Amino acid sequence: MMASTHTPSALPSDSVAGDVAKLAAAAAASQAAESAEAEAYEKTHVHGVYEAIAPHFSATRYKPWPAVASFLQSRPPGAVGLDVGCGNGKYLGLNPSVYMVGSDRSASLVALAHSRGRQLQEQQAQEAKKRIAQGELDATTGTGGESSGAAVATEVLVADGLSLPFRERAADFVICIAVIHHMSTRTRRQEAIRHLLRCVRTGQAGQPGGQILVYVWALEQGNSRRGWDEGGEQDLLVPWVLKSQQKQPKRPKQRKGQKRTRDQDSSGVAASNNSGEAPPSEATAGATTAATEPDPGHTDPVFKRYYHLYRKGELEEDVLAAGGAVITSGYERDNWWVVAANEPLPSQST
Amino acid sequence: MVLLVLIHFMISVYMHHKTAKMKLLTLNFLTCAVKTCKSSSDSFPLHPKDAELASDDVDVNPELLVNLLPRLDWKALKTTSAELGFPQLPDSPPTIEQLQSDDKLLKDLHSLLMETNLMEGKLVCGVCGHEYAVREGIPNFLLPSHLV
């Protein structure tokens, strides 16, 4: 499949130029193969898993991260935002005065996000009607102070983070929460951040550019019971147990040699299902397929999701490599986060 | 014409009140997912095909609309609106002052952007011709492997 075998070269094959060309072709081919391999890997160990666990996963994802909530609340009214990897859409309606569009690789999660948004809309409509009935609203205009701007949480679509369908440089902000750590090579993680940056406006004289907020799982989780910490293995397969009933703890297996985790001798469910987001719930669900494996003695399927655990400073490095400028960054309960913009930095005021 | 559109909407509302949909405003922020198409201006906006529309009843939010105005690609909105058979929009967008002072203008724009929904159909790229399916208001932008 080498491209060089099909392209007759004017140069003798043993010339330096010929070798360089060959090397370049080989490098390109191996890069393409590597990327295809990474893609196939993620299909099994990320996308397939989310498709299968979507309802169960969604039931455990309802609490917004404080840093994400405060970022969203501080966006100006009328700002246009994207949520790349929106999952069940829990952030889409958080600030009713901005317009948000969510995307996710998992069609099942997008469908859940959509119906969740519809429910929110109907709830709000009913509450507004109630308030009108109670005479709290100015019935002549149909709008009232606190009700104006019902949350728009229905705008969702299915897309891959590395092939986003958003008009470039159009959004005021992008959030990408607990997504990039599912990409299995550093090149792909940086590429994903580059795609986010491409979605937001660039800064102009007197006008700050758009910002992205990225949230990833941290390697340094000294205070969590997962047992991961500085110096440990960063690339892991983390089990998700589709729990149908209370049962014995099970042994999670990891992709590579991984330092011992306390999951192995305590409840792997409670620890491992809490994937850097909301507290795990006792919700039950049923599903099949994807990266499961039979667990002798138990009937609950175990799904393994790939994670790259970010070490301190790595997220900022990836932002820089993607051509971004870090505005602020921090750590919040087992996660690293960063707010970044396109170079050059907006004139400092916000 | 306006009356026809109105009747069309009433029928749609009646038929599809509960089903899923995507606002026309969102279309103004969507383009082709294929990398090589993005550099061409013909990839935006995407062209609706076999579109089923529906109308929602949404409270007018003047502040949101006024703030959204400079974020719109007006030319693309004009194209989309024409392709869906709505009355022609002017060549250039209203100013913020016009929008704030003209109630009818505000309501018309609100109706087009916030209350008009795409439910079923396809979104077609003007460069590669790829058709993205829209089902129950959710477009699917996952690409077949030869387009990635």
Dist CA A237 CA B100 (whole Å) = 54
| Nearest-CA distance A276 → chain B (Å) | 26
**A118–B63 C-beta distance less than 8 A:** no
Chain B CB contacts of A160 below 8 Å: 33, 141-143, 148
Write the pLDDT tens digit of every residue in A181-218. 999 999 999 999 999 999 999 987 777 899 999 999 99
pLDDT at A17: 60
Please check whether residue B148 touches A, CB under 8 A. Answer: yes
Dist CA A281 CA A287 (whole Å) = 17
Dist CA A350 CA B107 (whole Å) = 33
Q: Which residues contact B29 (CB under 8 A, 6 or more apart)?
A: A80, A101, A166, A167, A170, A171
ipTM above 0.90, yes or no: no
Domain ranges of chain A: 66-219+311-342
Average pLDDT over residues B18-39: 91
pLDDT at A208: 82
Chain B CB contacts of A145 below 8 Å: none
CB pairs under 8 A between A and B: 118
CATH number of domain containing B109 = 2.20.25.10
Provide the domain count of chain B.
1
Buried b (16+ CB within 10 A) or exposed e, A119-139: ebbeebbeebeeeeeeeebee
The boundaries of the domain holding residue B41 are 2-147
pLDDT at B19: 61
| Nearest-CA distance B29 → chain A (Å) | 5
pLDDT above 50: residue B87 = yes
For domain A66-219+311-342, the CATH class is: alpha beta
| pLDDT, mean over chain B | 89
Q: Please name the residue of chain B whose CA is at the shortest distance from the CA of residue A82.
A: B29
pLDDT at A32: 81
Q: Are A189 and A85 in contact (CB under 8 A)?
A: no
Of the segments A48-62, B8-22, B68-82, which one has the largest average pLDDT value?
A: B68-82
Residue spans of chain A under pLDDT 50:
1-14, 138-149, 245-290, 346, 349-350
| CA atoms in the 13 A half-sphere facing the CB of B133 | 6
Q: Among residues A293, A309, A340, A298, which one has the least CA distance to residue A44?
A: A293
B56: confidence class by pLDDT, cuts 50, 70, 90: confident
